[in-house]
Amino acid sequence: MREERMGLRRIRRRDFLKGVGAGAAALGLAGCGVDFAQERSGGQNPSKVKGEFSWTREKGKTINVLFAKHPMADSFIKELGNFEKKTGIKVQYDTLPEEEFFQKLRTDLSTGKGNYDAFMSGPPNNWEFAAPGWSEPLDAYIENKALTSADYDLDDFYPAALGVNRWRGKLWSIPANEEGYSLFSRKDILEEAGIEAPQTWDDLISAVKEVDGKTFGGKKVDGFVARGDKTFPTIQSGYSTAFLGYGATDVDDNGKVVINSPEGVKATEKWAEVMGHAPDNVGTFTWYEAMNHFSAGNAAFFIDADHMSEAFEDPEASVVAGKVDYGLPPEGDAGRMGNIWLWSLAMSASSKNNIAAWIFLQWATTKEQLEKAITEGNINPTRRSLANSETMKGYTKDWGAYNETWQTILSDHAAWNYIKSPKYPAFGDRWALAIQEIALGGGSIKETLDAAATEMQDIYDSAKG
């Protein structure tokens, strides 16, 4: 069923980065400046490859790719036969649930074995893998006309998407799947309650309080729902729209953790107000439980990944199909803001078939292939030219203003707004624990953020050695 497909896709993506927190040994290596790349040999220097571009340059080579289970991976795997016909390169691959995927990937990269030439990657992996030299910067490949097709058009990618994957002046992966964070409102509840779709945080708080605990369409609803568990995806999703919208930042220009600034405290007060009208067990909610709670018609408002629309608009899996307003993140003192998440494709620095691996990464992220991937559930597209393609418009035609909303979020309101550090997962987990405590009604907001900031400072500083 489509519902099962959605569940696998979204829950596995988040489990993927829970694996980051579990990989303490690898994170320690990434933070201490060990350069494994110096011990590796093989492959070709991309800057020295000469000649005209040809898709068949590496004909006869075989590459190994490691995928996490995800519709993006499925869309590429489905087309591997065409890739081999086009390039003469054979692709062997493994596809694993994210926890296993991440363990296997980190082992291969950290030992320099080079069993996998290319792999899927999320934002924190860019700097986690780059710091010790495990992943390959892609700039030299892109800039060499002998290796990159003239019509590849890197500028077609959304700047915010490419920006996530840049670190220390280099591009570490190519974005192939994107999400921003939207305010979902039940149109039927708004109409019955005589409420306009909220535009500001104060609007949202008022609306949440107005409808919480009341019955609409025969069902008693919670005013709000969101992620509430104590892992960093809670920070970067719904909470980020308040934190960033009120002008707060995690670390200032002097390297001081400042989540407990006046702006951070005010944002968290707003978040605590709406979370006070969420389900009693919201502290256990990942994206999956929150999404299902909203899909089942149990909440009036929800802030999370915009492309959860795919679940909401499936009438076989959702009772809110056709009833959801897809809105921009609420406006705070600093405007409308939010974070961003991506799935990307990256290359191992120890690949002995690095040119063939680059041809695969390039092919998979061409306009043609990413357009084909849309109907396999790989949304949102990371190329601007595909946002209003007939394929994307057709796929989302029954989803109200969704196709306009996600583009506006990505163009105007989404960016990676937190530290780029190998220690980010541990940093974010400690922060999420504080937000969970606050959302569940525990103690002073300022004191809770103060305590978290102190411990987060130690985590942040530990990556500087």
Torsion angle, CA of 44/49/52/55, rounded to 10 degrees? 10
pLDDT score recorded for residue 41:
53
State the SS3 of 122-186: CHHHHHHHHCCCCECCCHHHHHCCCCCCCCCCHHHECHHHHHHCEECCEECCEEEEEECEEEEEE
Structure tokens at 234: 């809670």
- With residue 309 as reference, give the H or E element that holds it: helix 309-312
Q: Are residues 444 and 335 in the same domain?
A: yes
3-state secondary structure of 53: coil
Alpha carbon distances (Å) from 319 to 9, 151, 314, 379: 20, 44, 8, 22
Assess contact for 118 and 412: CB atoms under 8 A: no
Query: What is the rounded average pLDDT of the residues 116-126?
Result: 93
Q: In total, how many domains does the chain have?
A: 2
Query: 108 and 214 share a domain?
Result: no
Instruction: Give the distance, in angstroms, between the CA of residue 218 and the centroid of all CA atoms in the same chain.
Output: 36
* Residue 70: pLDDT over 70: yes
Q: Is residue 406 part of a domain?
A: no
Q: Are residues 76 and 164 in the same domain?
A: yes
**Separation in Å, CA 295 to CA 1, 124, 324:** 15, 29, 10
DSSP string of 238-272, one letter each residue:
IIHHHHHHTT--SB-TTS-B-TTSHHHHHHHHHHH
Residue 425 lies inside a defined structural domain of this protein: yes
Higher pLDDT pick, 145 / 100: 145
Structure token digits, residue 377: 């559930």
**DSSP one-letter code for 411:** I
Cα distances from 201 to residues 164, 230, 297, 450, in angstroms, run 26, 23, 22, 24
Q: CA geometry: angle at 42 spanning 170 and 90, to 5°? A: 90
The C-alpha torsion from 127 through 129 and 133 to 139, rounded to 10°, is -60
Does the pLDDT of residue 37 top 80, yes or no?
A: no
Output the pLDDT for position 99.
77
Domain residues for 438? 181-339+418-464
Cβ-based neighbour number of residue 196 at 10 Å: 9
Dist CA 4 CA 235 (whole Å): 26
Q: Are residues 311 and 441 in the same domain?
A: yes
Check whether residue 23 and residue 166 sit in a common domain. Answer: yes
Reported as a single tens digit per residue, the pLDDT across 395-417 is: 999 999 999 999 999 999 999 99
Q: For residue 326, give every residue at least 6 positions away whose Cβ sits within 8 Å of its Cβ, in sequence order, or none.
A: 182, 184, 306, 309, 399, 400, 401, 402, 405, 406
Domain contains 399: no
Q: Tell me 378's DSSP state.
A: -
Report residue 208 as tokens: 């949440």
Contact 76, 373 (CB under 8 A): yes
Residues 335, 316 share a domain: yes
Looking at the structure, tell me whether residues 155 and 263 fall in a common domain: no
| 155 and 69 part of one domain | yes
Does residue 460 sit within a domain? yes
Does residue 200 fall inside a structural domain?
yes
Q: Is position 404 within any domain?
A: no
Averaged pLDDT for residues 138-166:
97
CB burial readout 240-262, b (16+ within 10 A) else e: bbbbbbbbbbbbeeeeebbbbbe
pLDDT in tens, 190-226: 999 999 999 999 999 999 999 999 999 899 999 999 9
Residue 24 has pLDDT above 90, yes or no: no
- The model's confidence at residue 376, banded by pLDDT at 50, 70 and 90, is confident
Whether residues 120 and 241 share a domain: the answer is no
DSSP code at position 227: -
Residue 352 lies in a domain: yes
CA separation for the pair 236, 340 (Å, rounded): 8
| Plot region of 196 (φ>0 → left; ψ -120 to 50 → alpha; else → beta) | beta
Phi, psi for 304 (deg, rounded to 5)? -170, -165
| Per-residue pLDDT at 96 exceeds 60 | yes
Q: 23 and 167 share a domain?
A: yes
Nearest one of 32, 447, 441, 397 to 276, comparing CA atoms? 441
Q: Which residues contact 151 (CB under 8 A, 6 or more apart)?
A: none
One domain, residues 128 and 236: no
Region for residue 361 given its phi and psi (left: phi exceeds 0; alpha: psi -120 to 50; beta: otherwise) = alpha
Cα–Cα distances (Å) from 316 to 86, 166, 237, 279, in that order, read 39, 40, 26, 24
394 is a domain residue: no
> Do 175 and 185 fall within a single domain?
no
Query: How many whole angstroms separate alpha carbon 175 and alpha carbon 122?
Result: 9
Give me the CATH number covering residue 284: 3.40.190.10
Task: Give per-residue pLDDT as tens, 263-309.
Answer: 999 999 999 999 999 999 999 999 889 999 999 999 999 999 999 99
At 375 the three-state DSSP class reads: coil
- Examine the pLDDT at 9 and tell me if it is beyond 70: no
Task: Work out the average pLDDT over 148-172.
Answer: 96
DSSP 47: G
Predicted local confidence at residue 113, as pLDDT: 87
Residue 30 confidence class, pLDDT cut points 50, 70, 90: very low
Q: How many CA atoms lie within 13 A of 375 on its CB side?
A: 10
